[in-house]
Amino acid sequence: MGYDFLEASNDVDFGDIVIVGYPFDSTSSFRSGSRNGPFSLRYHSWNLETFSPYRKTDIHTKKYSDIGDVELPFGDIEKANSLIYENTGRLLKMKKQIISLGGEHSITYPIIKAYSESFDDFVMVVFDAHADLRENYQGVTFSHACVIRNCSKLITTKRICQLGIRSYTEDEWNYSKNMLFFSDRLDDFDFSLIKGKKIYISIDIDALDPSIVPGTGTPEPGGIFFKDFIDFLVKFRDFDVIGCDLVELSPDYDQSAVSSIAAAKIVRELILLL
């Protein structure tokens, strides 16, 4: 037995939570293929139970809809950003809580741009192997390698926490000292930093160790283990989570499909957080 995100509804007016896919990977710097992430995550969700053993709650206690993927122009990052921003803004005006599925991490920037116009104050909590704090990557300002740097220009560095980070340049390391929090570890995190704040969660699947999630574009050894990650994620149940994304799942690099299954399990927990 398993669940399918479409099992609840594909009607945007159904419930408060909306799942949407952004299959875009035009700036992937090592291995492309994350555009196939949303489809693979949905397909392999059939293998999972609707009941979370971590929360002892069924996702069908929530009303959510999956409205499918937004068609994006491959190779045109500015047009893609515009479409993602407009769609996110439209859903926020409808008072929806959004789970966005990537696609590469660059999709987070236009999402945060829309959120920054709808919410006066919120904190980004980012799980990633890479700092993504470059000013540009090979001349591309809106590369997935620059996404958190770009987000910091929208909401300031003091509203961004980065966890799981284990790959960065010297310039990125120096810039990271401006962040509200920056670490390769989860157990260093001080939850008092975000007490009373609205939270946006961005999950690059390569934050997890590649022994667990090999299906990603830029795998980095030394990552977070799945159970440790889920146990940490569950701690956000006591916070006001206003939206989230899961990005950089590249299923073609994992014939076992365990990467897609892990990603689907994470999305199950995100549904319960909203």
DSSP string, 187-199: TT--GGGGTT-EE
Q: What is the pLDDT of residue 224?
A: 98
The encoded tokens of residue 70 equal 């937004």
- Over residues 133-176, the pLDDT tens digits come to 997 767 667 777 799 999 999 999 999 999 999 999 999 999 99
Q: Which comes out higher in pLDDT, residue 14 or 202?
A: 202
C-beta of residue 189 within 8 angstroms of C-beta of residue 181: yes
Relative to beta strand 198-204, strand 240-247 is: parallel
What mean pLDDT, rounded, does the chain reach? 92
Choose which CATH entry (3.40.980.10, 3.40.50.2000, 3.40.800.10, 3.40.190.10) describes domain 5-273.
3.40.800.10
pLDDT in the model for residue 9: 54
The pLDDT of residue 6 is 44
Residues of the chain with pLDDT > 70, as a percent, come to 93
Which pLDDT does position 34 carry in this prediction?
86
Model-level pTM?
A: 0.94
Residue 260: CB atoms within 10 Å: 26
Where do the structural domains in the chain lie, given as residue ranges?
5-273
- 191 and 237 Cβ atoms separated by less than 8 Å: no
pLDDT surpassing 50 at residue 207: yes
